[in-house]
Chain A
Amino acid sequence: MTLLFLRRFAGFAATLFVAALIIFLLLDLLPGDPARFILGINATPEAVAALRVQMGLDAPAHERFLRWVFGMLGGDFGLSATQRLPVAELIADRMAVTLPLTLVAMVVSVVVGLPVGILAAMRRGRAADTVLMVLAQTGVAIPNFWFGMLLTLVFAVGLRWLPTGGFVPWAEDPGAALRGLVLPGLALALPQASILARVMRTALVDVTGQDFIRTARAKGLTRGEAIWRHGVRNALLPVLTILGLQFAFLVAGTIIVENVFYLPGLGRLIFTAISERDLVLVRGATMVLVLITTATMLVVDLCYALVDPRLRGRGA
Chain B
Amino acid sequence: MSPRKSMALALAALMLSAGAALAQPTEIRIGVALEPPALDPTAGAAEAIDVVVYQNVFEGLVRIDQTGAVQPGLAESWTISDDGLTYTFSLHDGVTFHDGTSFDAEDVKFTFERLLAADSVNAQKALYAPISEVSAIDPLTVAFTLSRPDGLFLFNLGRGDAVIVAPESAANNGAEPIGTGPFAFVQWDRGSRVVLEQYGPYWGDKPALTKATYLFISDTSTMTNALLAGDVDGTNNFAPEALAVFEGNPQFKVLVGSTEGETILATNNRKAPFDDLKVRQAMAHALDRQEIIDGATYGYGVPIGTHFAPHHPYYLDLTGTYPHDPHKARVLLKEAGYPDGFSATLKLPPVAYARLSGQIIASEFAKVGIKLELINMEWAQWLEDVFANKDFDLTIISHVEPFDIGIYANPDYYFGYDNPQVQSLNETLNATTDEAERKRLAQEIQTIIARDAVNGYLFELAQTGVWNAKLEGMWQNAPVEGVVLRDIHWVE
**Listed residue (A40, A263, A275) with the most chain B CB atoms within 10 angstroms of its CB:** A40
- Tell me if B192 and A85 are in contact (CB < 8 A): no
- Tell me if A47 and B217 are in contact (CB < 8 A): no
Task: Provide 16 A-B residue pairs closer than 8 Å at the C-beta atoms, listed in order of the A residue.
Answer: A33-B380, A37-B379, A40-B44, A43-B126, A50-B120, A50-B121, A54-B121, A82-B37, A93-B190, A156-B225, A157-B229, A160-B230, A163-B229, A164-B222, A164-B226, A264-B189
Contact of B387 among A30, A38, A41, A149 (CB under 8 A): A41
**Listed residue (B192, B383, B401) with the most chain A CB atoms within 10 angstroms of its CB:** B192
User: CB-CB contacts of B176-193 with A at 8 A, as 1s and 0s?
Assistant: 000000000000011111
Given known pairs A42-B126, A262-B218, the reply for A83 and B380 (CB within 8 Å) is no
Asked whether A242 is an interface residue with its Cβ less than 8 Å from the other chain, the reply is: no
Contacts of B339-388 to chain A: CB distance below 8 A = 378-381, 383-385, 387-388
**In whole Å, how far is B268's beta carbon from the nearest beta carbon of chain A?**
16
- Tell me if A50 and B118 are in contact (CB < 8 A): yes
Asked whether A268 is an interface residue with its Cβ less than 8 Å from the other chain, the reply is: yes
Least CB separation from A31: chain B residue: B381
Contact of B380 among A32, A50, A163, A169 (CB under 8 A): A32
Least CB separation from A50: chain B residue: B119
Asked whether A152 is an interface residue with its Cβ less than 8 Å from the other chain, the reply is: yes
Contact of B384 among A33, A50, A85, A93 (CB under 8 A): A33
Least CB separation from B44: chain A residue: A38
Q: How far is the CA of A149 from the CA of B223 in the complex (A)?
A: 11
Least CB separation from A277: chain B residue: B380
Contact of A31 among B123, B190, B231, B384 (CB under 8 A): B384
Asked whether A219 is an interface residue with its Cβ less than 8 Å from the other chain, the reply is: no
| A44 / chain B contacts, CB cutoff of 8 Å | 125-126
Asked whether B169 is an interface residue with its Cβ less than 8 Å from the other chain, the reply is: no
Asked whether A278 is an interface residue with its Cβ less than 8 Å from the other chain, the reply is: yes
Asked whether A260 is an interface residue with its Cβ less than 8 Å from the other chain, the reply is: yes
| A104 / chain B contacts, CB cutoff of 8 Å | none
Asked whether B393 is an interface residue with its Cβ less than 8 Å from the other chain, the reply is: no
Q: How far is the CA of A43 from the CA of B123 in the complex (A)?
A: 5
Asked whether A272 is an interface residue with its Cβ less than 8 Å from the other chain, the reply is: yes
- Tell me if B383 and A272 are in contact (CB < 8 A): no
- Tell me if B231 and A32 are in contact (CB < 8 A): no
Excluding A31-B384, A36-B388, A41-B387, 19 further A-B contacts by CB distance (< 8 Å) are A33-B380, A33-B388, A37-B383, A38-B123, A39-B45, A43-B124, A47-B120, A83-B174, A84-B38, A97-B191, A149-B222, A152-B222, A164-B229, A167-B189, A169-B189, A260-B219, A260-B222, A262-B192, A264-B190
- Tell me if A40 and B123 are in contact (CB < 8 A): yes
Contacts of A225-281 to chain B: CB distance below 8 A = 259-265, 268-269, 272, 275-278
Least CB separation from A264: chain B residue: B191
**Listed residue (A41, A46, A85, A264) with the most chain B CB atoms within 10 angstroms of its CB:** A41
Asked whether B46 is an interface residue with its Cβ less than 8 Å from the other chain, the reply is: yes
Contacts of B298-315 to chain A: CB distance below 8 A = none
| A166 / chain B contacts, CB cutoff of 8 Å | 192-193, 215, 226, 231
Q: How far is the CA of A187 from the CA of B396 in the complex (A)?
A: 38
Contacts of B176-220 to chain A: CB distance below 8 A = 189-193, 215-219
Task: Give the A interface residue count (CB, 8 A).
Answer: 54
Q: Which residues of A contact B (CB under 8 A)?
A: 30-34, 36-44, 46-47, 50-51, 53-54, 82-85, 90, 93-94, 97, 149, 152-153, 156-157, 160, 163-167, 169, 259-265, 268-269, 272, 275-278
- Tell me if A42 and B216 are in contact (CB < 8 A): no
| A94 / chain B contacts, CB cutoff of 8 Å | 190-191
> Contact size class for B?
35 or more
- Tell me if B35 and A261 are in contact (CB < 8 A): no
**In whole Å, how far is B367's beta carbon from the nearest beta carbon of chain A?**
32
| A84 / chain B contacts, CB cutoff of 8 Å | 38, 174-175
**In whole Å, how far is A123's beta carbon from the nearest beta carbon of chain B?**
38
- Tell me if B192 and A38 are in contact (CB < 8 A): no
Least CB separation from A267: chain B residue: B191
Q: How far is the CA of A42 from the CA of B388 in the complex (A)?
A: 10
- Tell me if A32 and B384 are in contact (CB < 8 A): yes
- Tell me if B45 and A149 are in contact (CB < 8 A): no
Contact of B125 among A34, A43, A165, A272 (CB under 8 A): A43
Q: Which 5 A-B pairs have the closest CB atoms?
A: A40-B45, A32-B380, A264-B191, A82-B37, A264-B192
- Tell me if B190 and A90 are in contact (CB < 8 A): yes
| A277 / chain B contacts, CB cutoff of 8 Å | 379-380
| B230 / chain A contacts, CB cutoff of 8 Å | 160
| A269 / chain B contacts, CB cutoff of 8 Å | 190-191
| A41 / chain B contacts, CB cutoff of 8 Å | 45, 383, 387
- Tell me if A39 and B123 are in contact (CB < 8 A): yes
**Listed residue (B45, B121, B225, B379) with the most chain A CB atoms within 10 angstroms of its CB:** B121
Given known pairs A93-B190, A169-B189, the reply for A39 and B121 (CB within 8 Å) is yes
**In whole Å, how far is B335's beta carbon from the nearest beta carbon of chain A?**
34
Contact of B192 among A82, A263, A275 (CB under 8 A): A263
| A164 / chain B contacts, CB cutoff of 8 Å | 222, 225-226, 229, 231
**In whole Å, how far is A264's beta carbon from the nearest beta carbon of chain B?**
3
Least CB separation from A169: chain B residue: B189
Asked whether B26 is an interface residue with its Cβ less than 8 Å from the other chain, the reply is: no
| A38 / chain B contacts, CB cutoff of 8 Å | 37, 44-46, 123
Q: How far is the CA of A133 from the CA of B303 in the complex (A)?
A: 56
**In whole Å, how far is B162's beta carbon from the nearest beta carbon of chain A?**
14
